[in-house]
Amino acid sequence: MNREEPSILVVDDEHGIREGCRKVLSEEGFKVTTAGDGIEALEICKAGNKFSVALVDLMMPRLGGLELLGRLRALDPDLLLIIITAHATIDTAVEGTKQGAYSYIPKPFTPDELMITIRNGLERQSLALETKRLREERERRLLEVASERSRCGTILKCITDGLLVINREKLVVLRNDAAARILPKASKPDIPFPMAKLEEPKFERMIDEIFEDDPGPRIVSQELDMGTSNFMVNISPVIEPNGETSGAVAVFHDVTELKQLETAKSMFVSMVAHELKSPLAATEGWLNLLLSGLVKDDPKQARHVIERSYIRVKTLRNLVAELLNITAIETGNFQLHRSSVNVAVIARQAVDAAGDKARGKAIELTLNDRSRDGTKTSLADEEALTLIFSNLIDNAIKYTPHGGTIVVQLAQNGMYASFSVKDNGIGIKAEELDKVFDEFYRIKNEDTFDIPGTGLGLSLVKRLVELHQGQIEAESTPGAGSVFTVRIPLS
């Protein structure tokens, strides 16, 4: 609303009063509009005209002044209402004030009387408007601050990284929920508390580094081992406008899982390196023997050396192929070469292939084929299926002690060929059963300490089974044995 040039509405049924007022007020620089009665005045206001002041006569036809006051006030709460009347009584004055009138000018009045009243009123109005503006501004700011605070609070509460704010006196002055959760020593003391209570000397040294440095926007980062978890800790200084460092904000990002993954990966690399080096070294050794002349000019002996080298190189090739398969499956590039295969034949071959290994540990390995003829054909990848069966049987041999029993059973289960390997080996604890299919996961305890492996076998098996739209599950009783069951859809 533009109140720069105050505009005035004069409502009076007497033409002389209207024009007299217009003359006086126009000379004083006001913009004047007149109305002959209340109805006309309302129409003018409802048409969107805004006024700073309304001079209202009380006694008018159609719509009386008192009622008009109320209506005008309702249309514009800021409008300055002044009553002009020839019938001045205390009662009408009180009634007018109740309707929101600021003042009362009895007729007849002099131009000066009119001007003084209007000027005083305008001054008062401008003060009231300023007060109102300030109040509204303050309320708006308060609302903003409140919502900003609650927003910050919500963010701090929800953030998964731990956050501590430390002041120059090395007091912890703020901690979010995550910090209280992941740093047990930070959860109990009331804020503020000395950071020494955290009992993390490395972290304290990082804070010292932030504070002792020349002020400047720099971040100190370090990976810290805190109890059972590893954290990537980033500390940034809080720099005041005058350039001084007033505190530090420390963010704790949990990297425990990443670290574990890193360890698992490097262990996997060493296992793989050993698996690769052994056949390579054996082949190299044989060839060296041949070159050194230790193998006499005996064709039979020479052939033996070449045969052994050939076998090891072939093993090495298979190992590399297997590693590449795993990578291919991991990256989603493994293609199944499906053909109509007899599941029972492949199961038989896998059991036969594991015969030597089983006999080496005096393990009784038997195949129990309970599937009916003609229902054993599956549209599957023969190599993958062989890999699945062999892996499960080899695992059973690995985790079954000397003299144990392994029963491989083939059966039809609805539209599936069900292949299960049951052993009476060391078994798997319930909490570890879900994890045995995870990559690199190896159960570590006294019983398994001596058993080598890459931790990839079962995860490879699971992936291959799933590529065939099959299912795999494991059941086990620690100390009594395990059963691994694979179901492959039949064609």
Partner 1 sequence: MSVLILLVDDDRDFLEMNRGILEAGGFQVDCYTDTDTAWESMEKRKPDLVITDLMMKSLNSGFSLARKIKSDPRFADLPVIIVTAVASKRGFDFNPQSQAELEVMGCEAYFDKPVSPDLLIAKVKELLS
Question: What is the contact surface with partner 1 in residues (CB under 8 A)?
Answer: 270, 273-274, 277-278, 280-282, 284-286, 288-289, 292, 294-295, 308, 312, 449-450, 452
Residue closer to partner 1 by CB (options 37, 275) is 275
Residue closer to partner 1 by CB (options 98, 274) is 274
Smallest distance, partner 1 to C-beta of residue 322, A: 18
Burial (CB < 10 A; 0-12, 13-18, 19+), residue 179, is: buried
CB 249 within 8 A of CB 221: no
CB 91 within 8 A of CB 79: no
Smallest distance, partner 1 to C-beta of residue 290, A: 10
Residue closer to partner 1 by CB (options 398, 462) is 398
Residue closer to partner 1 by CB (options 282, 379) is 282
CB 162 within 8 A of CB 183: yes
Residue 316: closest CA among 344, 284, 280:
280
Residue closer to partner 1 by CB (options 255, 289) is 289
Smallest distance, partner 1 to C-beta of residue 272, A: 9
CB 378 within 8 A of CB 417: yes
CA–CA dist 443, 28 (Å, integer): 98
- In order, the DSSP letters of 189-231 are SPSSEEGGGG--HHHHHHHHHHHHSPS----EEEEEEETTEEE
State whether residue 250 is helix, strand or coil.
Answer: strand
CB 377 within 8 A of CB 343: yes
Smallest distance, partner 1 to C-beta of residue 233, A: 26
Cα torsion 20, 25, 29, 33 to 10°: value is -80
Residue closer to partner 1 by CB (options 284, 466) is 284
CA–CA dist 335, 171 (Å, integer): 60
User: How many residues would you count in the chain?
Assistant: 491
Amino acid (1-letter code) at residue 342: N
Smallest distance, partner 1 to C-beta of residue 449, A: 6
CA–CA dist 339, 90 (Å, integer): 110
CB 338 within 8 A of CB 384: no
Smallest distance, partner 1 to C-beta of residue 440, A: 16
Residue closer to partner 1 by CB (options 184, 401) is 401
Residue closer to partner 1 by CB (options 208, 284) is 284
Smallest distance, partner 1 to C-beta of residue 355, A: 17
For tokens 């609302």, the residue is: 143
Smallest distance, partner 1 to C-beta of residue 194, A: 40
Residue closer to partner 1 by CB (options 100, 453) is 453
Smallest distance, partner 1 to C-beta of residue 312, A: 6
Amino acid (1-letter code) at residue 13: D
Q: What angle do CA 94, 96, 102 make, to 5 degrees?
A: 100
